[in-house]
Amino acid sequence: MTVFRLLATFALAVLLGACASSGGIADVPPDQPQAAVGEYLIGVDDIVQVTVWRNPELGITVPVRPDGRISVPLVGDVVAGGLTPSAVAADIQEKLAAYVRDPQVAVILTDLRSHEYLSRVRVTGAVRQPVSIPFRQGMTVLDAVLAAGGVNEFAASDRAALYRRNGQSTTSTYAVRLDRILDRGDLTTNHRVAPGDVITIPERAF
């Protein structure tokens, strides 16, 4: 890895560190390790800065379009949405090689606009008011349910569940005994939530 690429990685780490300090990264259950900084996936509306060493005229700072692409000088449209900054940099670097000798490309996220939406916590089902709320550091299942006005009279509080997306295709499910949390103060299943979690409280079968 070049010094140029290392500097880009460091800049991304600082930016995501700022998000963590303001509630961007959750405390997750022990079996769910947090993703490394370099695994952050670029989202629509994120602002990315592309720089090419010794070729400043090829540098751009642009938002990711709704189709997940950005337009790069000489190269044209490049897919950015759903990829890591390092993957996008590698793609641009490979394509630029047809025009520039030994290009050294860095892609840096300067504004994580998609982060707030992706990190929201949603509460659905038998609650007073289904909600989508911004994640906050230290937030628990109970905090999220209370933000939804609590459970309603039809709730099967013993069958609530927390759903967490793992990567692109798998989801983990955690049992939540809301009845024990609310009635007994038993916080065993009062899990700390993570960005993107969905909490569902089903209705009782009559």
> Domains in the chain, ordered, with CATH?
3-116 (3.30.1950.10), 120-201 (3.10.560.10)
pLDDT band at 34; cut points 50, 70, 90: very low
pLDDT band at 21; cut points 50, 70, 90: very low
Place of tokens 């641009």: 92
Place of tokens 């190269």: 75
Residue 12 vs residue 24, higher pLDDT:
12
Q: How far is CA 136 from the centre of its chain?
A: 13
Give pLDDT tens digits for 116-167: 777 889 999 999 999 999 888 899 999 999 999 999 999 999 999 999 988 6
Span 42-69, average pLDDT: 94
Task: Give the phi and the psi of residue 111 in degrees, each rounded to 5.
Answer: -155, 115
**pLDDT at 202 exceeding the cut of 60:** yes
Residue type, 164: R
- Which of 61, 71, 44, 46 is CA-nearest to residue 106? 61
